[in-house]
């Protein structure tokens, strides 16, 4: 990471809590009024910038919501509360349609193959990723993303729209560019957000970046010329909705080891099921977020966050091991612990879930069970993510009312 990144997004829970404390006074009416203004790198004072910590669950959604609602009324904090639940909604939606993630990966590989065989496409793609398009706003955002691992949400929408409708590049390549660099990038929010801009997620609904809108919300820093004036929806396959996987339970009498991954690094709720693991391992999949090389700061953040968990929980974790990146090494670690069950926080659709499925199959011949424990917050919210967000939004008051008593960290 650069010095700027390190100061903005230190991968510790303490740093996340400090940022939450700093943001709390602005989470009500100020956020509702100013959240769409993108003032540039290091100036994102009108949004929380908590997403890297929430994405890795160094901070949990429940504790962020509880903190905000302890400071502001539900009415004043409505917009911020909805933004937190957008990430929850996307995860629940994709969890019930894993085929969308599989189709994205397949189409991404096809687009990368086209990049190798079509020189014009390759040149356009490389220029977009390097910020050499000549569209000043877009090129600035490309550079900011690569340098900081973060973009304001409004800039993400503008960037995706320009990528798809002005540059006419495959949306999958843009989603991959984000996932290779965003510290808060996760398969659900990233993939479905790009699909939404393209008109694939909500059929017929696209997002068009407009120069006057960009000028207004960048406070006049940019008013790009030559942008597309129409945004016709792209075609895309649909995936059938399937039931959420059943919840699993650990056997408290069985010798257990804990396995942590970067989708959930707040293991407090796991100790209710496994109060004294004999050992704790860490699984690294940051490198699997793309078929291409991911930005070094992604793995740096994940490793730092895992080191923070090990330091905070100390002896409660049992014997700890360094993060590993492959199934064979995880199997060797599991056998060495002597545990008969490996307990891990549930991983939603994405690289961690894929890696856990592979591990479960590999452990089966040894009679070692892999137990994926779903957080109560997810179990409460995900069943409502069956259609559009606005139907889900109707359930937010009920979900907020159920936060009391949920293990937050």
pLDDT at 1 over 50: no
What sections of 296-374 are H helices per DSSP?
296-313, 327-337, 351-363
pLDDT at 204: 87
Span 195-207, average pLDDT = 95
Q: Is residue 341 part of a domain?
A: yes
Q: What is residue 275's predicted lDDT score, i.e. its pLDDT?
A: 92
Does 345 lie in the same domain as 282? yes
Q: What is the CATH number of the domain that holds 84?
A: 1.25.40
Domain shared by 341 and 282, yes or no = yes
pTM of the prediction? 0.96
In this prediction, residue 8 carries a pLDDT of: 82
Single residue among 154, 187, 217 that ends a domain in this structure: 217
Q: How is 53-70 classified by DSSP, letter by letter?
A: HHHTTSS-HHHHHHHHHH
> Edge-to-edge strands of the sheet including 279-283?
319-320, 279-283, 256-261, 341-345, 369-373
Say yes or no: 262 and 358 in one domain. yes
Asked if 158 contacts 141 with a C-beta cutoff of 8 angstroms, the reply is: yes
pLDDT (0 to 100) of residue 311: 97
Residues 277 and 352 in one domain: yes
315-328 confidence digits (pLDDT tens): 999 999 999 999 99
Instruction: Tell me what pLDDT residue 71 has.
Output: 97
Encode 110-119: b = buried (16+ Cβ within 10 Å), e = exposed: ebbeebeeee
Domain presence at residue 227: no
Domain boundary among 217, 232, 267: 217
Does some domain include residue 362? yes
Hey, what are 362's tokens? 């590999």
Do 174 and 262 lie in a common domain? no
| Residues 330, 350: Cα–Cα separation, whole Å | 18
pLDDT at site 406? 63
So what's the pLDDT on residue 4? Answer: 45
pLDDT at 148: 96
pLDDT tops 50 at residue 163: yes
Average pLDDT taken over every residue of the chain: 95
Tens of pLDDT, residues 267-303: 999 999 999 999 999 999 999 999 999 999 999 999 9
Residues 232-248, mean pLDDT to the nearest whole number: 92
Q: Is 135 within the bounds of a domain?
A: yes
* pLDDT tens-place string over residues 262-272: 999 999 999 99
Note whether residue 102 is domain-resident: no
* pLDDT score for 409: 62
Mean pLDDT of the 3-20 span: 82
Q: Among the three residues 189, 217, 245, which one is the final residue of a domain in this structure?
A: 217
pLDDT value of residue 3: 39
The whole domain housing 62 covers 3-95+382-401
| Residues 283 and 365 reside in one and the same domain | yes
Please check the confidence at residue 6 and state whether its pLDDT lies above 50.
Answer: no
In a domain, 247, yes or no: no
What mean pLDDT do residues 387-400 have? 96
Domain shared by 7 and 79, yes or no:
yes
How many domains does the structure of the chain reveal? 3
Residue 233 resides in a domain: no
pLDDT at 7 (0 to 100): 53
For residue 328, what is the domain's CATH number?
3.40.50.620
Q: Are residues 314 and 361 in the same domain?
A: yes
Domain holding 208: CATH number? 1.10.579.10
Distance CA 262, CA 286 (A): 8
- Residue whose token pair is 């939606």: 93
The pLDDT tens digits of the residues spanning 61-88 come to 999 999 999 999 999 999 999 999 999 9
365 with 393, same domain? no
pLDDT of residue 238: 82
* 238 within a domain of the structure (yes/no): no
Phi-psi region of 138 (alpha: psi -120 to 50; beta: other; left: phi over 0): alpha
How far apart are alpha carbons 405 and 48 in whole angstroms?
A: 24
* Coil, helix or strand at residue 40: coil
Instruction: Tell me: do 389 and 363 sit in the same domain.
Output: no
The residue that leads in pLDDT, 252 or 53, is 53
Residue 301: CB partners within 8 Å, gap ≥ 6?
A: 1, 9, 11, 52, 56, 149, 183, 286
Rounded-to-integer distance, Cα 345 and Cα 283, Å: 12
Task: Give pLDDT tens digits for 118-153.
Answer: 999 999 999 999 999 999 999 999 999 999 999 999
d(CA 46, CA 43): 8
Q: Provide the pLDDT for residue 408.
A: 59
Whether residue 115 is found in the same domain as residue 79: no
Element counts in the chain: helices (H) and strands (E): 19, 5
pLDDT of 356-381, one tens digit each?
999 999 999 999 999 999 999 999 99
Same domain, 349 and 387: no
Quick one: pLDDT at residue 5? Answer: 45
């Amino acid at each position: 990471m650069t010095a700027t990144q390190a100061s903005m997004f230190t991968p510790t829970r303490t740093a996340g809590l400090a940022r939450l404390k700093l943001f709390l006074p602005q989470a009500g009416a100020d956020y509702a009024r100013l959240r769409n203004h993108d003032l540039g790198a290091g100036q994102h004072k009108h949004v929380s910038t908590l997403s890297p910590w929430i994405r890795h669950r160094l901070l949990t959604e429940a504790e962020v919501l509880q903190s905000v609602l302890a400071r502001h009324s539900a009415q004043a904090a409505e917009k911020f509360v909805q933004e937190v639940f957008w990430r929850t909604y996307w995860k629940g939606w994709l969890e019930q349609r894993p085929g969308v993630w599989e189709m994205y990966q397949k189409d991404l590989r096809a687009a990368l193959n086209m990049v190798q065989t079509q020189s014009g496409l390759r040149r356009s793609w490389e220029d977009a990723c390097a910020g050499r398009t000549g569209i000043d706003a877009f090129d600035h955002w490309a550079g900011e993303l690569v340098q900081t691992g973060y973009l304001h949400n409004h800039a993400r929408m503008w960037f995706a729209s320009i990528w798809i409708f002005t540059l006419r590049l495959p949306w999958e390549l843009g989603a991959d560019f984000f996932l290779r660099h965003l510290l808060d990038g996760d398969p659900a929010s990233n993939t479905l957000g790009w699909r939404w801009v393209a008109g694939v997620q909500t059929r017929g609904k696209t997002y068009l970046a407009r120069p006057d809108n960009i000028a207004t919300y960048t406070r006049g820093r940019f008013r790009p010329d030559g942008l597309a004036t129409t945004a016709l929806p792209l075609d895309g396959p649909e995936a059938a909705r399937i039931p959420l996987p059943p919840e699993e339970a650990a056997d408290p009498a069985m010798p257990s080891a804990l396995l942590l991954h970067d989708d959930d690094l707040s293991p407090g709720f796991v100790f209710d099921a496994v109060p004294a693991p004999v050992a704790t391992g860490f699984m690294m999949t940051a490198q699997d977020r793309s078929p291409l090389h991911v930005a070094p700061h992604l793995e740096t953040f994940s490793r730092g966050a895992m080191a923070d968990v090990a330091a905070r929980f100390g002896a409660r974790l049992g014997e700890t091991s360094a993060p590993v990146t492959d199934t064979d090494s995880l199997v060797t670690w599991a056998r060495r612990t002597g545990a008969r069950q490996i307990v891990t926080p549930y991983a939603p659709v994405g690289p961690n879930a894929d890696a856990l499925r592979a591990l479960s199959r590999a452990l089966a011949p040894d009679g070692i069970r892999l137990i994926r424990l779903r957080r109560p917050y997810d179990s409460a919210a995900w069943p409502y993510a069956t259609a559009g967000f606005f139907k889900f939004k109707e359930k937010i008051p009920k979900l907020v009312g159920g936060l009391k008593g949920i293990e937050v960290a």
